[in-house]
Each structure stands twice: as structure tokens, then as C-alpha cells.
Structure 1
């Protein structure tokens, strides 16, 4: 699966994120996140390619978004909120 086109979602990550509502769907999302990492052509395809940078970005985004953002409303479901934090760890600069 390496070498996929940019914008494709071979891991189903976006679909898994959209379905997060409870512990089971959160675990499914974690599996999709791990799959997304493994199918990335290189770690640089993630904004944050080390575990330290990933966790730092997730925490920074969590702080920045705790009251919502222009295009982000804080969900009432805590499972979804944590999933949002983790996806930010992949993408937030």
C-alpha cells in the first residue's frame, strides 16, 4: 500500500474518525491511525514523524482548541474529542 496518492485514505482513517462515538469505535479509530502510519510512504508524510513530536502536537492542539476554533466545535462526546486530539497529532504543526 505504500506509494498511495496524496489525499487518498487507504487506512480508512477519516471514516473511522467520523464514526467515533464510544470506546469500541475509538479503538477502531486507533487501529486506523496505526494503519495510516504504516501505509505512509515515509514518516514525513505525517506532519509529526516521531512519537514526541506527535504527542507534543496533539497536546498543543488540545490546548488551542479547548474552546473551539473557527472551523471546529468541541464535541460533547469525550471519545470523539480525544480522537480529534490524536488526529491533530498527525497533522498539527
Structure 2
């Protein structure tokens, strides 16, 4: 991720990944496929929890501090997977 264009391509990919899960029932663990968070509030809460727990990812990937496009893309991705 390096600029607005690549960020928007990532977001479009995330949308395309989400669409098939929109109306699927969650399994016993609460997952819909590989999506851990199935409502917008769960998605955003998970993204914020990840950001708080990881210093917005810098603790695990220091270059995120200088690449804000990638940092925000990882933030959104973690909304999908972080529990």
C-alpha cells in the first residue's frame, strides 16, 4: 500500500471478500466464513481493539508508522479477523 489508489483497491477487495458472507449465518464460534465480526459495530470494535493492543500495528510492524495508507488498510483488515 503506497497511495490512495492502492488503498482503494484494497478496500474494493475487502468488500468483494465480504459480500458472499452478508447473509450467511455465523457458525458456533460466531464466524461467517473467515469473518470473525459480522456487524459494523463488531467490525469497528475489533479494529479499535487491535489498534489499541498493538499501538496501531507499530508494535508488530514498525514501518506502519511511516506508511499511513498501509496502516489504515491493516486496521480495516483487523476489523475482519481480530477477536
Q: Same fold (TM over 0.5)?
A: yes
Matched, 1:32 2:48: no
Listed one character per residue, the Cα deviations across residues 10-64 of structure 1 (whole Å, up to 9, x for unaligned) are xxxxxxxxxx111110000010000000134836221000000000000110111
Distance in 2, matches of 1:39 and 1:28, equals 18
Please identify runs of 4+ aligned residues in structure 1 that moved more than 2 A: 39-43
Whole-Å separation in 2 of the counterparts to 1:73 and 1:31: 23
Give the structure-2-normalised TM-score.
0.77
CA distance in 1, matches of 2:73, 2:52: 14
Matched, 1:22 2:3: yes
Q: Aligned partners of 1:83, 1:65: CA distance in 2, in Å?
A: 15
May I ask how many residue pairs the two structures share in their alignment?
71
> What's the TM-score once normalised by structure 1's chain length?
0.69
Structure number with higher relative contact order (C-alpha < 8 Å, ≥ 6 residues apart): 2
Cα distance in structure 2, aligned partners of 1:58 and 1:52: 10
Alpha-carbon separation, structure 1, partners of 2:4 and 2:54: 22
| Structure 2: unaligned runs, 5 residues or longer | 27-31
- Structure 1 gaps of 5+ residues are 1-19
